[in-house]
Structure 1
Amino acid sequence: MAITGHIVLVCIPGWGHLRALVVFACKVIQQRPNIGVTILTAGNIIQKVETEISRHFAADDDAKDNIRVLSVLEQNANMFHLISNTAEASMRFYESIYRQEQTTCLVSGKTFPPWISPKLVIINIFLDIVQTARTINPTATVLGWAPTNNSSMIRQYGPEELGGAGVISVKAIVEAERTGKPVKQIENELSRPENGDVIQIPGLPPMYDNEFIPQQKIPVLEDANTAFAKASQHFIRQADGIITPGTSAFEAEALAAVKKWQSENRKEMYIVGPLVPIEDGSGNKLKKLAQENESAASDKGSEIEEFLEKILHEYGAYSMIYIAFGSSWWPDSKQIWTFVNVLIEQKVPFILARPSPMAVVPDDIAAKVHESGIGLFSTWTPQQLILAHKATGWFLSHCGQNSVVESMAEGVPMIAWPILGDQPDNAALLSLKLNVAYQLTEARTGEAGLKALKRGVQPTGTIQAVEREAREVLEKARGVDGEIKRKNAHAIKARMKEAWEENGEASTELRRLLEKEFPSK
């Protein structure tokens, strides 16, 4: 089929930001096979992108060829280099695409002939390039991709009247003139305050500001967090609107607030989540295919599948804990290995994902896990397959947005161990508002992390306290309280499934977007 419409997607090379965007591209093609989608990102992550695309189409379905994936930079092992250079490099590619020139991926070497000039460009809000995109292509709609907890988006990028940070770049200049302190220092303080002030964000309970800093601050990450916050605030003010992979199935209050905020500024807001393989009522063939392809991409796919069946047979349904902290994050090593020791002591089976370079398994732990026969390590796990398996009872997670969505989509309750970004927002939402998770309040570090929580908890952060809390949580999880949380998670799963039904929220919103930008003839 001839391409009569073109969408360009631009994203930093972070899997937490990129994965749902790739699924969005697949949903677009499945609804409108005459539209072409070009994904611009950076580095070897394009290989994961291509694998993800294959999960959503049958092998003989040529529609997947309507999605092109290009790296705008050559591979570089330094992730900060890739992220910091994605904006400028992607705009060079975008200009070539607009001019209908052929383009070549700088990692795969694939060259693509031109398509029609794009009418819609969707850009990760971390990339402050709205004006550049408009200069290149003045007639295209520019929307922001916001793959984050929506309460967190309000808190970090939203107006002060909603409990947000306000425009920190402007506030920092005013404060610097008043105090003489460096602007950069003030920006960091405004971006991640720890004054003990109570803040109220739509969708969350009242919390102290320091609760959103659960782990020891790292200066380079503080600077990066502030840079992203400033870029996102500026992007949202300039763009034509926002697309969120969120879902009202568990973020209704926050999404309503974001939509009102955008509407008051005469901007669009599209809610197109959840972006995960959902049962489709047709024998679930696509979901099964997605799981098979995900397993094939893992370093231990078949071994993990065998392990899950073994645990189900020997320990029963919901007996296993899946542990993962995303592709970049890793908690305090002494604390995580303390938790693993408790799992072995309590004879609780587990799979632990460790894709982060920081996730080094000590020899004594590796030997102990091997000897126990109830644990398995993997550098890249088929997460959705694991969560969908009947053996999986709980997901111990940093609570990144993708992980939360994928866990709730399978009705798997969680154990929250937040580190940075929107993770503490999700941890509070899950444990305090939705009652589908436990939060490990002793697994906190740093000055801000060890301050009292608004709910009356005073963390100590000692290894003994982490060990005690791990035992307490595991006992509750295997009792009546755990069953209540599982029931609540299953209710969310049912609501999420409804989102992609004919008149569901996500289906309706995607049709609205495509009809506005590419009207039917």
Structure 2
Amino acid sequence: MVRHIIMMPFFAWGHLRPQCALAVTLVRRYTDLVLSFLCEVDFAQRAKDEMPRQCVSEDERTALLSRIRVIAYGNPQPPLTPELEAMVMLMDPRHLISPTLETCADGVEVVGNLMGEHAFVDKLGTAWGPVGALPRLVIVDVMMGNLFLPVKDMYNVWVFLWWFGSTTSLTRGYAPLKYGGRAVGYAAECEAIFADEGRRAGRPFGDIARDVWIRDSRFSNDIIKLAGLPPYFQWEDTPQDCWHPLFYQCLAVGARVVAAVDGFLMPTLEELEPEAHRDMIQWARPRRVLCLGPQLPPALLAEGAWESTELLAKLEVNYHAPAANADINGHAHGHTNGYANGHTNNGHTNGDANGEAKEPEEVAAKSGAHGHKNGESSNTPLDPAIAFLDTALAEHGPNSALYISFGSIFFPPEVHIKILFETLLTLEKPMPFVMTLSTGRLADELTAALAASGRGIVVPWAPQQALLSHPGLGWMLTHCGGGATFESLSSGVPVIGWPFMGDQSQHALWVSQVLDTGFDLIQVRTGAPGLPALRGDAATGGTQIAGTEAAVREELVGVLQTAQGKEGARKRENARRIREMILKGVQKGGSAERALGELDFII
């Protein structure tokens, strides 16, 4: 008998990628399960390209991916030009909806076809037939409320929320106010201020939404207390000046999503956040909270991960490159994920640019993964970031290098990047580094100084999961998004946190103050000028943020030198212990496997 579930991921890579891994985890665990993976048309191919990385063999790719139906829906997104971005930033956040209502309506229609066991054709021209079983469960992203909420109203189906970060970050976002949550009542508070001329003070609604996001009067003493974290000031959730109108929808619509779901799937482990987990059970009850562990390729959650990551690096999806098969005509490589016409399709392929089908191992061999390992040459050069870490390992030893990534959206002020580079290029003990630059730019003088030093490289993209398993890598400097946080912990790599907003702040505090596997930068913060961070002696008001270049430079020099010394080595050992805890939790008989088994009674 076949079982059937639906997933509704959000398109942002930090959301989409772990949900691709979750899809493979689910069909691996439940061998009679067919999974309909609804993906916006612009991102369906990237989802298909990511899923093979989650399989341990070609046999598993054939067996598992044939039961995942990546269904493209919605309308293509317009290019985000500077003019469009400027217009978006001025919009009333109540009217900025992503995905668009038109795309969500198309998604609702797709769900109707799945619920009615109807044949249909998706937005990439793939024909889908009946599965032979009605969906029993929908797994939804918190950003997908405008698609999910109508579905919830129309169909009697279980719905679980997939969260992308730590338990404390979900609690801070969406728990009731008394547990430290912020979303419940956020929209109503913004509307109340806007309606009161005195409190409004001439501000447009977008400015009110931003100001309440930073400092909500409902927290009378400004201190946030979350189970499992030290207390902190509420404005520390906005450590950088990076408000976006979509943040309003994240809380306003997200609160309705969290209130409507029947349970929660988390990428953490109970044993990683025991106090936060117990607290969430209290505020979420009677709904289930299932901790499934980090959703990563099995090769990265195994001893000797470096033996596999070279191959994985060659197959890693470059999310920021043009999609290989994003257009309906399909000029580049593609594959199908099965049950397209109601029966199994084992024709999964992973092709090259001219459409010739290649298996993943063949692609890796062609690109030089195996050639690198045994010293053979290849027509395609080794990934430059991997090659740089190889050199760093040979010249400076294990754990000597730093990987810098602020994700696909965030980037520090130019003056802070200049200070960071100047610090790295003048450290007495070299700390070779790789930096990804998917947004922002480097000044010409920094580019020239970097080239002259030989101490680092800047690349537009790097295979992050592979880098984190490289023996030459010692640290990651990161914005502490959910993906980076759990990938670094799962690889045993300590971090230097440079958070920008939201969940990143809780992750940075968690790894630095609770897990003790990293540092949390304070002086680089620009989000609440003149306001302190609650570190050190709370009685004296915490740590003042000077806002000067000298303070930023002093902090960076101190943290980087400390990372190279005994304290850094101690934190690395802590990170390795956390990795061992994660490996134990996700292996057979571990807490994550037991939690996954609890879905059996639902699906």
Using structure 1 for the length normalisation, give the TM-score. Answer: 0.89
Q: CA deviation at 1:248?
A: 2.9
Superposed, which structure 2 residues align to 1:59-458 within 5 Å?
A: 59-60=58-59, 61-62=61-62, 63-78=64-79, 83-85=99-101, 86-106=103-123, 108-115=124-131, 116-128=133-145, 129-138=147-156, 140-165=157-182, 166-172=184-190, 181=199, 187-193=209-215, 197-218=222-243, 221=244, 223-263=245-285, 266-278=286-298, 292-297=311-316, 298=318, 302-346=383-427, 347-356=430-439, 359-446=440-527, 448-455=528-535, 456-458=542-544
**CA 1:87–1:191 in 2, change beyond 3 Å: closer, same or farther?**
farther
Aligned to 2:546: 460
**CA 1:114–1:369 in 2, change beyond 3 Å: closer, same or farther?**
farther
Consecutive unaligned residues of structure 2, counting only runs of 5 or more, are 81-95, 322-380, 536-541
Distance 1:497 1:399 in 2: 21
Aligned to 1:472: 558
* Contact 1:159 1:167 survives alignment (8 Å): no
* Contact 1:401 1:426 survives alignment (8 Å): yes
**CA 1:76–1:172 in 2, change beyond 3 Å: closer, same or farther?**
closer
Q: Percent identity?
A: 25
Q: Which moved more, 1:317-326 or 1:182-191?
A: 182-191
Q: CA deviation at 1:472?
A: 0.8
Distance 2:211 2:521 in 1: 26
Distance 1:46 1:374 in 2: 38
Q: CA deviation at 1:113?
A: 2.7
Distance 1:48 1:516 in 2: 32
Aligned to 1:23: 21
* Contact 1:321 1:395 survives alignment (8 Å): yes
SS at the partner of 1:465? helix
Question: Which has the larger helix fraction?
Answer: 1
Distance 1:33 1:354 in 2: 41
* Counterpart residue identity of residue 294, structure 2: P
Q: CA deviation at 1:152?
A: 2.1
Distance 2:78 2:271 in 1: 38
Distance 1:281 1:445 in 2: 36
- Higher alpha-carbon Rg: 2
Aligned to 1:9: 7
Q: CA deviation at 1:102?
A: 3.3
**CA 1:56–1:187 in 2, change beyond 3 Å: closer, same or farther?**
same
Q: CA deviation at 1:217?
A: 4.5
Q: CA deviation at 1:378?
A: 2.2
SS at the partner of 1:494? helix
Deviations 1:279-319 (A, max 9, x none): 6998879x855652343335886222222211100110010
**CA 1:251–1:340 in 2, change beyond 3 Å: closer, same or farther?**
farther
Q: CA deviation at 1:461?
A: 2.6
Q: Which moved more, 1:94-103 or 1:424-433?
A: 94-103
What is the CA RMSD across the aligned residues, in angstroms? 2.6
**CA 1:69–1:371 in 2, change beyond 3 Å: closer, same or farther?**
farther
Distance 1:283 1:187 in 2: 47
Q: CA deviation at 1:202?
A: 1.2
Q: CA deviation at 1:395?
A: 0.4
* Contact 1:442 1:461 survives alignment (8 Å): yes
Distance 1:120 1:373 in 2: 53
Deviations 1:29-74 (A, max 9, x none): 1111221112212243333322221112223431212112233234
Consecutive unaligned residues of structure 1, counting only runs of 5 or more, are none
Aligned to 1:510: 596
* Contact 2:392 2:400 survives alignment (8 Å): yes
Distance 2:58 2:252 in 1: 43
SS at the partner of 2:273? helix
Q: CA deviation at 1:105?
A: 4.1
**CA 1:327–1:104 in 2, change beyond 3 Å: closer, same or farther?**
farther
Distance 2:5 2:278 in 1: 27
**CA 1:95–1:301 in 2, change beyond 3 Å: closer, same or farther?**
farther
**CA 1:342–1:243 in 2, change beyond 3 Å: closer, same or farther?**
same
Aligned to 1:51: 49
Q: CA deviation at 1:409?
A: 0.5
* Contact 1:411 1:492 survives alignment (8 Å): yes
Q: CA deviation at 1:25?
A: 0.6
Deviations 1:158-182 (A, max 9, x none): 1122122232234455666677645
SS at the partner of 2:416? helix
Q: Which moved more, 1:274-283 or 1:61-70?
A: 274-283
* Counterpart residue identity of residue 476, structure 1: T
* Contact 1:149 1:426 survives alignment (8 Å): yes
